[in-house]
A = this chain, B = another copy of it.
Amino acid sequence: MDAALESLSKALRIFAAERDWEQFHSPKNLAAALTVEAAELLEHFQWLTEEQSRSLPPDKRVAVSHEMADVLLYLLQLADRLQVDLVAAARRKLELNASKYPVSRARGSSRKYSDPD
């Protein structure tokens, strides 16, 4: 984990401890809270066209960035609880994706993509 994320994780640990909130922060509950925040992020986009989503008005962009922050904050807390190195896990996943979707076959196609597996 890199320094900035590590520092955020530490701040979150203190934040929860000061409020005696660790009791609520089981991995199960954190995963639910993370999903709820992701959906709040999605809510900002649900009636927009894709084109509109590419050029958000400034106030909307700020609101969206708050929801993105919430997602990251819960993700960091979950990683902390499960002792997962998020950045290392993301690097590994990106490598897996590279072999799962080789450039030659995946180019311009969302087919693989659109078939849930």
Given contacts A15-B97, A41-B31, A61-B84, contact A69 B90 (CB under 8 A): yes
Contact residues in B for A4 (Cβ distance below 8 Å): 1-2, 5, 87
CB distance A50 to B49 under 8 Å?
Answer: yes
Contact residues in B for A42 (Cβ distance below 8 Å): 31-32, 34-36
Contact residues in B for A69 (Cβ distance below 8 Å): 86, 89-90, 92-94
A-B contact pairs, 17 of them (CB 8 A): A5-B87, A15-B97, A19-B103, A19-B106, A20-B107, A24-B113, A27-B54, A28-B53, A31-B44, A34-B38, A35-B39, A39-B40, A47-B110, A61-B82, A61-B84, A70-B93, A73-B93
Known: A38-B39, A75-B75. 14 other contacts (CB 8 A): A4-B87, A8-B87, A19-B108, A21-B113, A24-B110, A27-B53, A27-B64, A28-B45, A35-B38, A35-B39, A48-B114, A66-B89, A68-B79, A72-B89
